[in-house]
Amino acid sequence: MNILSRAHDGMISRWWWSVDRWGLGCIIFLMVVGIIMGLAASPAVAAKLGLEQYHFVKRQLLFVGLSSVIIVVCSLLSPVGVRRAAYSLLAFAGLALLATLVLGVEIKGARRWIYVGGLSIQPAEFLKPALMVVTADLMSRQEKVFGRMDGTLLAFLGLLSCVGILVLQPDIGQTILIAAAWVGVLFLSGVRLVWAAVFAPIGGVGVVMAYFTLPHVAKRIDAFLDPQRAENYQVNKALDAAVHGGIIGVGPGEGELKRTLPDAHTDFIFAVALEEYGLIACTLIVGSFAILVLRSMARARHHTSSFSQLAVGGLVIVIGLQAFLNMAVSLGMVPTTGMTLPFISYGGTSLLAMAVSAGFLLAMTRRRPGMMGGLA
């Protein structure tokens, strides 16, 4: 009997007929695009570093395999299971973040990476899905947490703790992303929009302080405001590549950007895609992210659980906003952030953490008994 048949009452069959197959399809498509773009962009980078031609491609395939397992396992969890996994992951990520301040390797003035058994790990990546789910849990509680503290207040204290550690690294890009996603969950929980008048100035003050206290932040903002500065070399090359690619691109392997940029396979992978495959192909990438975000939000509306709705909201904000910021950097719309393009850019930690986010998202949007209305 076919294990995916509706007539088969097994775990895999129940998962297949309850999971958001459109969302799953978008995730698979983006990961396949990542492999294709790795074949296009990484050999040139590997050659410059003196590595075997397909060094990064082989590692990417390994990470894609591991990520696929993580997505399926996490998507099998119940909402209670997702909640428990998120608290455990938050504890791990928090301790690892503290460890990076002492044991982390300093690169370009920041301690964001810690080496374990020869593998480099960026704990901030795992912090994002965990913090969003935990925040959703705390904000959705009607009773006092631990019998005495309001859930939203505790979630705010958790945010301050995480942001404080990230600023000490410093990692301003991840700080902005996490803070913005947290505020998004707060508004989804029912807080009045008038509070935007409070959070907007706080965010503005934070950016100004970062500009005057962190040299690398000031350098990136200055380069964004003055495109002719030498520090803006990578962004200018990415813009030239986008123009060179046009509507249909110059063809697979024919682009020049990957031969000139050290981050062509990571931060500027979208620019490589624009040059080699053109605007039409990149529209499919943008469309896949849009479908994943919008469909997940639409399915979350059918949940009667506010926890599920807020968790989905936080997760899609993280995925969607990170994708937007990466693509915006390649198009010169925002200062460089150092963020990868979810599911596509090379990077083990980033891909594995995004797999956790995707798994949690698919788990929270599965069709379950007691949901309002039907789902497509």
Q: Is residue 52 part of a domain?
A: yes
- 58-61's contacts with Cβ under 8 Å and 24+ in sequence apart are 59/346, 59/348, 60/34, 60/35, 60/346, 60/351, 61/35
pLDDT of residue 255: 77
Q: Which of 95-99, 126-130, 143-147, 365-369 has the highest mean pLDDT?
A: 126-130
Q: What is the mean pLDDT of the chain?
A: 84
pLDDT of residue 373: 44
Q: Which of the four pLDDT bands, split at 50, 70 and 90, describes residue 83? A: very high
Examine the pLDDT at 293 and tell me if it is beyond 80. yes
pLDDT of residue 376: 38
Tokens 């990077």 belong to which residue? 347
pLDDT of residue 145: 55
Q: At 353, phi and psi to the nearest 5?
A: -65, -40
Residues 6+ apart with CB under 8 A from 61: 35
User: How many other CB atoms are found less than 10 A from the CB of residue 203?
Assistant: 14
Which range marks the domain in which residue 195 is found?
21-364
Tokens 């682009």 belong to which residue? 255
Q: Which of the four pLDDT bands, split at 50, 70 and 90, describes residue 82? A: very high
pLDDT of residue 22: 93
Helices and strands: H and E segment counts in the chain = 13, 3
CA angle 336, 341, 346 (to 5 degrees): 105
pLDDT of residue 231: 64
User: Which residues lie across from 115 on neighbouring strands?
Assistant: 120
Q: Is residue 3 part of a domain?
A: no
pLDDT of residue 56: 86
pLDDT per residue as tens digits for the range 206-265:
777 877 777 777 777 777 777 776 666 777 778 888 888 888 888 887 777 777 777 778
pLDDT of residue 137: 92
Buried (b) or exposed (e) across 68-86, using 16+ Cβ within 10 A? bebbbebbbbebeebbebb
Q: Is residue 16 part of a domain?
A: no
Q: Is residue 374 part of a domain?
A: no
Tokens 């973040």 belong to which residue? 97
Does residue 369 have a cis bond before it (omega within 30 degrees)? no
| Best CA proximity match to 362, nearest among 164, 129, 196 | 129
| Best CA proximity match to 149, nearest among 138, 140, 159 | 138
Average pLDDT over residues 172-201: 82
Q: Which of the four pLDDT bands, split at 50, 70 and 90, describes residue 374? A: very low
pLDDT of residue 214: 75
Cα–Cα distances in angstroms (integers) from residue 229 to residues 7, 102, 212, 222, 304, in the given order: 64, 34, 19, 8, 53
Q: Is residue 105 classed as helix, strand or coil in its secondary structure?
A: strand
pLDDT of residue 370: 54
Q: Is residue 11 part of a domain?
A: no
pLDDT of residue 109: 63
Average pLDDT over residues 34-57: 84
| Best CA proximity match to 162, nearest among 116, 196, 126 | 126
Residue 145: DSSP 8-state: B
Residues 6+ apart with CB under 8 A from 21: none
Q: Which of the four pLDDT bands, split at 50, 70 and 90, describes residue 6? A: low
| Best CA proximity match to 296, nearest among 312, 283, 310 | 312
Q: How many domains does the chain have?
A: 1
Q: At 97, phi and psi to the nearest 5?
A: -60, -45
Examine the pLDDT at 375 and tell me if it is beyond 50. no
Q: Is residue 10 part of a domain?
A: no
Torsion angle of C-alpha atoms 24, 294, 364, 360, degrees rounded to 10: 60
Residue 344: DSSP 8-state: T
Q: Which of the four pLDDT bands, split at 50, 70 and 90, describes residue 316? A: very high
Q: Which of the four pLDDT bands, split at 50, 70 and 90, describes residue 336? A: confident
Q: Is residue 7 part of a domain?
A: no
pLDDT per residue as tens digits for the range 133-171:
999 999 887 655 555 557 788 888 889 999 888 888 888
8 Å CB contact between 15 and 3:
no
Largest CA distance in the chain: 66
pTM tops 0.85, yes or no = yes
Between CA 178 and CA 102 the distance in angstroms is 22
Average pLDDT over residues 192-197: 68
Residues 6+ apart with CB under 8 A from 99: 114, 123
Q: What's the gap between Cα 224 and its chain centre?
A: 23
> In this predicted model, which residue has the larger pLDDT, 10 or 51?
51
Q: Is residue 238 part of a domain?
A: yes
> In this predicted model, which residue has the larger pLDDT, 229 or 355?
355
> In this predicted model, which residue has the larger pLDDT, 303 or 148?
303
pLDDT of residue 360: 96
Residue 104: DSSP 8-state: P
Residue 302: DSSP 8-state: T
